[in-house]
Structure 1
């Protein structure tokens, strides 16, 4: 019966996640609301980016710095210091460079965010399929356990399979809960870096 209890727990988790989902985004597994894209106006109050939105990729220094700053492994204090060092210079250069740098960060972090969110929805679909399979196999196991005569070999084989599948389901659920925090962390990083860039322009 322990196997069926594990399976029931996995199905309860799946059911709770399904109920919590935004009906507009049926595959979104997080309790956090899904915001598909970051609005530029929400994170940037500086001058219009204009052609910086495409030209930032042509500047080797900017692309290298954007890569460093957008990496979550780069501590924020180190990232802020790098922004200040990069924007040291004349007012004209500072504005142009600031626009290029933020355009690159906005583009890159938005892309990272979309990639994470798409991955979460892929895993959510797999979890739904796994829950359906666990449900079907739980019913099969109950039937095998109640059968007369009882085939213990089949009961053991299906029990072991259910244990394995339920553990995979639970492990994925734990990972999803952790990864659900990532889009918010990316939002916060972009907002914080945008604020530093704007402060350096003043």
Structure 2
């Protein structure tokens, strides 16, 4: 693939990213086609009793805190996480409701924080990509000028060509990673909804 084609591909990706961001002017750095929802609403994932002081007290329970960490980790398969919820609540019949609220409060806070970190990272990379696209555009124009110069400095042409190829490939690799990471906030939403549903079912 020639430098010109590579640079054109980068500019096309940059334009596509700009179009996606333009869909919601409130979030100009948001690079995903999925709509940006800054945080999960409690009402969207919890139909159980009010959490009350469980929202702050869950961290004081070592067993709950440890379980929250395990359940919130994306490396923990969802079916395994659901099984752990059932086992934990089955073993606390006398205060099942209280433990259920502590557990969900911990999951809600932890997963919302995870989600926020991912989204901040996505927007940071989006800004880097925009800057990179601008530099690639400028260097492509500079390369074209060098190629059309008389006499032509082959050493400079080759050096700038190699630099453009390297920068373009980094841009494309980063773009692929962004597309993958854009799925993460949705997967966190789904995990919280699924675990919240299991917790509520165990309370009934």
Tell me how far 1:92 sits from its aligned partner. 4.7
Q: What corresponds to 2:86 in structure 1?
A: 84
Conserved? CA contact 2:143–2:161, under 8 Å: yes
Find the counterpart in structure 2 of residue 18 from structure 1.
18
1:30-69 → structure 2 map (5 Å cutoff): 30-69=32-71
* Equivalent residues of 1:70, 1:109 under 8 A apart: yes
d(CA) in 1 for partners of 2:115 and 2:20? 21
More divergent stretch after superposition (62-71 vs 91-100): 91-100
Matched, 1:93 2:95: yes
Partner of 1:152: 154
> 2 CA distance for matches of 1:87 and 1:168?
48
Please provide the CA RMSD for this pair. 1.0
Residue segments in structure 2 that go unaligned for 5+ positions in a row: none
CA displacement at 1:90 relative to structure 2: 5.6
Q: 1 CA distance for matches of 2:92 and 2:132? A: 59
Deviation at 1:180, TM superposition (A): 0.2
The alignment partner of 2:75 has SS state of: coil
In the TM superposition, what is the alpha-carbon distance from 1:179 to its structure 2 partner?
Answer: 0.2
Task: Give the whole-Å Cα distance in 2 for the aligned partners of 1:90 and 1:105.
Answer: 18
Q: Give 1:15 shift.
A: 0.7
Aligned equivalent of 2:73: 71
Deviations 1:54-77 (A, max 9, x none): 000000000000000000110111
How far does the alpha carbon of each residue in 1:118-158 deviate from its partner, in whole angstroms, 9 at most, with x for none?
A: 00000000000000000000000000000000000000000
Aligned partners of 2:85 and 2:16: how far apart in 1? Answer: 43
Separation in 2, partners of 1:102, 1:134: 47
Out of 107, 112, 115, the residue aligned to residue 114 of structure 2 is 112
Q: Could you say what secondary structure the match of 2:76 adopts?
A: coil
Q: 1:53 to 1:156 in 2, by over 3 A?
A: same
Counterparts of 1:171-182 in structure 2, within 5 Å, are 171-182=173-184
Moved over 3 A (4+): 89-92
Query: 1:91·1:201 contact (CA, 8 Å) conserved in 2?
Result: no
